[in-house]
Amino acid sequence: MSIEKLLPVFMIFGFVFIACSSDDDNTSTDDQNTTDCTNVSSTFAINLTTDGCDIDLAINSVYLEVIDAGADTRTITFNGIPEHLVGEFPNSGNPNTISEQNNTYTVDLTPQQAANTTSGQGYEFGILFSGVSVDPYTAEFFVGSGGTNMEWNITTLTTTVDLGLDCNNAHVQPTGKYHYHGTPNALTSDMNIDGSEMVKVGYAADGFPIYYKYGYDEAGTSIVALTSGYELKEGARGGDGATAPDGCYDGTYFQDYEYVSGISMLDECNGRFGKTPESSDEYYYVITDNFPSSPLCFSGTPSNDFRFQ
Sign of CA dihedral 296, 284, 289, 46: positive
Banded model confidence at residue 20, pLDDT cuts 50, 70, 90 = very low
Q: In the predicted model, what is the mean pLDDT of residues 28-33? A: 43
Mean pLDDT of the chain: 90
- Residue 18 pLDDT > 60, yes or no? no
Q: Which domain holds residue 283?
A: 3-37+46-306
Q: Over the stretch 120-135, which tens digit does the pLDDT of each residue have?
A: 999 999 999 999 999 9
What pLDDT is attached to residue 105? 98
User: 114 or 139, which is more confident?
Assistant: 114
Among the residue ranges 137-151, 270-284, 286-300, the one predicted with the least confidence is 137-151
- Residue 25 pLDDT > 60, yes or no? no
Q: In the predicted model, what is the mean pLDDT of residues 212-233? A: 97
Q: What type of residue is 282?
A: E
What pLDDT is attached to residue 34? 61
- Residue 28 pLDDT > 70, yes or no? no
What pLDDT is attached to residue 139? 80
Contacts of 192 (CB under 8 A, 6+ apart): none
Banded model confidence at residue 17, pLDDT cuts 50, 70, 90 = very low
What pLDDT is attached to residue 35? 76
Q: Tell me: cis bond preceding 174? Omega within 30 of 0 counts.
A: no
Q: In the predicted model, what is the mean pLDDT of residues 213-232? A: 97
What pLDDT is attached to residue 98? 98
b or e along 115-131 (b: 16 or more beta carbons within 10 Å of the residue's beta carbon)?
eebbebeebbbbbbbbb
b or e along 263-289 (b: 16 or more beta carbons within 10 Å of the residue's beta carbon)?
ebbbbbbbbbebbbeeeeeebbbbbbb
First to last CA, the chain: 8
- Residue 99 pLDDT > 70, yes or no? yes
Sign of CA dihedral 100, 204, 166, 121: negative
Q: In the predicted model, what is the mean pLDDT of residues 281-293? A: 98
- Residue 95 pLDDT > 80, yes or no? yes
This prediction's pTM: 0.88
C-alpha–C-alpha distance, residues 92 and 184, integer Å: 20
Q: Over the stretch 195-206, which tens digit does the pLDDT of each residue have?
A: 999 999 999 999
Give the chain's domain count. Answer: 1
C-alpha–C-alpha distance, residues 171 and 157, integer Å: 12
Banded model confidence at residue 140, pLDDT cuts 50, 70, 90 = confident
